[in-house]
Structure 1
Amino acid sequence: MTAREAMPNAYVAGKGNLSDEDATLVARRDRALGPAYRLFYETPVHLVRGEGVWLYDSAGKAYLDTYNNVASVGHCHPRVVAAMASQAATFASHTRYLHEAILDYSERLLVTFPSALSHMMFTCTGSEANDLALRIAREHTGGTGVIVTENAYHGVTLAVSGFSPSLGPGVPLGAHVRTVPAPDPELGDRAGEVFAAGVQAAIDDLRRHGIRPAVLIVDTVFSSDGVIPDPAGFLAPAVAAIRAAGGLFIADEVQPGFGRTGAGMWGFSRHGIVPDMVSLGKPMGNGYPVAGLVLRPEPVERFGAKGRYFNTFGGNAVAAATASAVLDVIEDEGLIGNAKVTGAYLADGLRALAGRFDAIGSIRAAGLFIGVDIVAADQPDARRTHRIVNALREAGVLISATGRNANTLKIRPPLVFGRDHADIFVDRLDGVLRALA
């Protein structure tokens, strides 16, 4: 059973234990929003407020958030909210007027990247950032071919959904798209060599069909493929392969970026590479819609000479002020260091659980990004994963699952997650595993 078929944390109409109030809300959603939306969990959660790593439902029950990287520095962080409100009350227009906020933020953010990545372009979402990256890459390379991993997710625009296989068979891949197996951490030092061979095979197949390669794009911890951060450095051979073919490498940092791995600001840095473009998204504004693209100057030169780029809300003054406040919090609260220390503590706690429960297989961790495989007789067990995800929801912990086999617990809490929160999570997972044993 694949992740696309399993959807382990999705509400199915007519099931779940809905209150009358929540059943009414579900019916209103169906009427107003139509059939394409989904709700998490067998019994959806009716949330009304958030603070730090906690979310609260309409009855006042608290849920430990171990999944949400949108509010990356904690739900409703007061410094971020204050910056957002202050700028909105002062000036809130777009980038076609001179204004310091977007420049101050851009210069400050670019310092966190290798010097070769010297330009910043703004969007509202990571999907838009990846869409823009593809447009630029096509103009620069003259190619259209896109290479992604087999269960990748990169966004929902028309172009980007066409190279996001995790969206499922109902969203067809483009004829110019080739998928490759995700890196296999079990191969150790050979992981990079084998992954690069897959990329080269995709390049060769594109050429055989008369398609010039344009990009290799990966989420640098392979979140949708099951969270694969190690061995560090394995991406370099694949990047060399796409560049030798005349294409560009795009690092999708929407999920691993802004300090989550605990090894600096950006996930790609663990691999000793400098991308041609880096897409940013969700964590950038802690819930405010701000995203962007950081890139070398060469790819955008021809694109910028031939046409204008404008995004009404991308990089507006409120977005810049909000994103700047997020950087303040990351720096002032030492959140990259916290991701490293707390992530290691949490991973150790999970490994201790693995010694007592055969349902836990491989554990892969980079800071506060952890994947925990759920297995039966050492084989992927999507059904048990489904039960764990929903049992944790009942126990007051919000989590989801990922991976091609839908059997990997995806642990990705706000960066203010501390050791006491890690203890709560491990204790409640312990209880769930004992109950389900």
Structure 2
Amino acid sequence: MNSAASNELKSPLEKISKEETLRLRDIHIGKNCTVFFKSSGALKIVRGEKQYLFDENNVPFLDCINNVAHVGHCHPHVVDAGHRQMQLLSTNSRYLHDNLVLYAQRLQRYFPPQLSVVYFLNSGSEANDLAMRLAKAKTGNKDVICVQGAYHGHLQSTVSISPYKFNRIKGYKQKKSVHVAPLPCSYRGKYQRSQIKDESVDIGKLYADEVGAIIENLRSNQRGLACFICESLVSCGGQFPLPQNYLKYVYQYVREAGGVCIADEVQTGFGRVGSEFWAFRLQDVVPDIVTIGKPIGNGHPIACVVTTQEIARAFEAQGAEYFNTYGGNPVSVAIANAVLDVIENENLQQHALDVGQYLIEELCKIQRRRPLIGDVRGTGLFVGIDLVKNRVTKEPASDEALYVSRRFKEEHCLVSTEGEWNNVLKLKPPMVFTKANVDTICELLDKFLEELTHPNEV
């Protein structure tokens, strides 16, 4: 791109220097509003296209972590849909508008038939907050079970069920109505596949029984269960799929106790896992409530709660109306509808399956010769690489993961870390990620692990 064309892309705010942007941010923005790669130098991003982000100097960075830009940054069909609708109408959802009902009808076709009622909101945090309100309305109870390492949003209500967050807040006291089950990780959790010699043992059931024990404790204390909430694949807790059969048994225990089962698909839905459109289908279960956000609008603020008629009626019976000013406004829904167009027309679910399988295969090849990689896991374009100092003890290689993340950035690729010890490299790229991009990432990863193995030769 020539310099004249590059300058045309810049708005007035993008013409100030990066140093000035940092100075103004330091003055006017809360200090705990963090940015990526702060320790190695924050990036100033001014443009996005497909799986690439461009800095103020028009240098491209391969984006391997932005699952929000689901169908690719600034997809022209999505941008055009929003632009056309904004030229016509942008208002709240208390007026009748075809976009709302037609999209709800279209979205529902991706779900099992019993999940037929849709509520529109602006973010995944709002969606999970509403999901808990629905569950409490249905059951009349307030106790919630979540899992260790979970993150369900930044609202006060959702932080309270997000151990990933509240365990890091100084002086925070966990609510008595919130109960935390062990993180269901078969690699480094309470029950590990490597430590169980009998391969017939169902690790999913072992972890589910931990939830069952919490429910029994509630019963013994004469407390009722409102809901169990869990991401369909664990993200912040370490980037891994749930053990087989985990949700099948958990949902059985929860329903027997009169509780509601909530699947958080905010980071995992819309075909990312490849073999299924929703990650909860990997567990062969049907939740009572599903929350979706982030990818639904390709970065535009829109989210949904999808639930059953029975639960919706219980919520309605409370008497107070539910009103969300911008939830389901015509512009947001036009954009969400365009995202579904792209997923279908560009066959992105199958693409995620094909590229994701190739990614796992190539990473496993590196794992066989690089002992720093303890585990490679995931499905579709949702992949975690667990770095360890020792494969037997599984001591987290946090410093090494930080080094690799920094080196990726230096080579114009964006990869970040996840998990309790920040030792897991996460890969959740836009769905247009290619096999050529996989080759780039794997070649660089192998190089960086070699540097860590022989630091004196770097």
Among 402, 406, 410, which residue is 1:394 paired with?
Answer: 410
Deviations 1:396-428 (A, max 9, x none): 111121122321111100001111111111112
Measured after TM superposition, the shift of residue 206 of structure 1 is: 3.4
CA contact (8 A) 1:183 1:194 kept: no
Aligned to 2:240, the other structure's residue is in SS state: coil
Deviations 1:253-284 (A, max 9, x none): 01110000001210001111110000000000
In the alignment, structure 1 residue 26 sits paired with structure 2 residue 42: no
Distance 1:180 1:58 in 2: 45
CA contact (8 A) 1:176 1:211 kept: no
In the alignment, structure 1 residue 35 sits paired with structure 2 residue 31: yes
Measured after TM superposition, the shift of residue 195 of structure 1 is: 1.4
Report the counterpart of residue 68 of structure 1 in structure 2.
Answer: 66
User: Percent identity between the aligned chains?
Assistant: 38
Aligned to 1:376, the other structure's residue is in SS state: coil
Aligned to 1:173, the other structure's residue is in SS state: coil
Aligned to 1:235, the other structure's residue is in SS state: helix
Measured after TM superposition, the shift of residue 173 of structure 1 is: 3.1
Report the counterpart of residue 428 of structure 1 in structure 2.
Answer: 444
CA contact (8 A) 1:145 1:176 kept: yes
Distance 2:162 2:432 in 1: 30
Report the counterpart of residue 240 of structure 1 in structure 2.
Answer: 252
Deviations 1:4-40 (A, max 9, x none): xxxxxxxxxxxxxxxx943432231121112221111
Aligned to 1:338, the other structure's residue is in SS state: helix
Aligned to 2:341, the other structure's residue is in SS state: helix
Report the counterpart of residue 133 of structure 1 in structure 2.
Answer: 131
What are the residue-to-residue correspondences of 1:259-298 with 2, within 5 Å? 259-298=271-310
What are the residue-to-residue correspondences of 1:49-88 with 2, within 5 Å? 49-88=47-86
CA contact (8 A) 1:280 1:293 kept: yes
CA contact (8 A) 2:205 2:245 kept: no
Query: Taking structure 1 as reference, are residues 172 and 50 closer, same or farther at Cα in structure 2, changes over 3 Å only?
Result: farther
Among 106, 110, 113, which residue is 1:112 paired with?
Answer: 110
CA contact (8 A) 1:162 1:172 kept: no
Among 244, 250, 267, which residue is 1:255 paired with?
Answer: 267
Query: Taking structure 1 as reference, are residues 302 and 414 closer, same or farther at Cα in structure 2, changes over 3 Å only?
Result: same
Measured after TM superposition, the shift of residue 98 of structure 1 is: 1.2
Measured after TM superposition, the shift of residue 333 of structure 1 is: 0.3
In the alignment, structure 1 residue 367 sits paired with structure 2 residue 402: no
Measured after TM superposition, the shift of residue 91 of structure 1 is: 1.2
Deviates more, 1:395-404 or 1:370-379: 395-404
Deviations 1:98-118 (A, max 9, x none): 111111111001000000101
Deviations 1:27-64 (A, max 9, x none): 31121112221111121111111100001111222111
Measured after TM superposition, the shift of residue 232 of structure 1 is: 3.7
Distance 2:110 2:346 in 1: 17
Distance 1:223 1:198 in 2: 20
What are the residue-to-residue correspondences of 1:179-190 with 2, within 5 Å? 179-185=180-186, 186-187=192-193, 190=202
Distance 1:39 1:207 in 2: 44
Deviates more, 1:201-210 or 1:272-281: 201-210
Report the counterpart of residue 15 of structure 1 in structure 2.
Answer: none
Letter in 1 for 2:272: R
Deviates more, 1:314-323 or 1:402-411: 402-411
In the alignment, structure 1 residue 224 sits paired with structure 2 residue 236: yes
Aligned to 1:355, the other structure's residue is in SS state: helix
Report the counterpart of residue 201 of structure 1 in structure 2.
Answer: 213
Distance 1:354 1:236 in 2: 31
Distance 2:348 2:206 in 1: 34
Aligned residue pairs total 418
Distance 1:174 1:26 in 2: 37
Deviations 1:134-167 (A, max 9, x none): 1111111111111111100000111111111111
Measured after TM superposition, the shift of residue 375 of structure 1 is: 0.5
CA contact (8 A) 1:263 1:367 kept: yes
Aligned to 1:87, the other structure's residue is in SS state: helix
In the alignment, structure 1 residue 419 sits paired with structure 2 residue 435: yes
Measured after TM superposition, the shift of residue 334 of structure 1 is: 0.4
Query: Taking structure 1 as reference, are residues 414 and 132 closer, same or farther at Cα in structure 2, changes over 3 Å only?
Result: same
Letter in 2 for 1:289: P
Task: Note the residue ranges of structure 2 that are not aligned, 5 or more in a row.
Answer: 1-15, 187-191, 194-198, 454-458
Structure (1 or 2) with the larger CA radius of gyration: 2
Aligned to 1:89, the other structure's residue is in SS state: helix
Report the counterpart of residue 341 of structure 2 in structure 1.
Answer: 328
Letter in 1 for 2:337: S
Aligned to 1:225, the other structure's residue is in SS state: coil
Distance 2:220 2:176 in 1: 13
CA contact (8 A) 1:74 1:416 kept: yes
Report the counterpart of residue 10 of structure 1 in structure 2.
Answer: none
Task: Note the residue ranges of structure 1 that are not aligned, 5 or more in a row.
Answer: 1-19
Q: What TM-score do you get using the length of structure 2 for normalisation?
A: 0.88
Deviations 1:318-344 (A, max 9, x none): 111000000000000000000000000
Coordinate RMSD, CA, aligned: 1.5
Among 87, 91, 97, which residue is 1:89 paired with?
Answer: 87
Measured after TM superposition, the shift of residue 208 of structure 1 is: 4.5
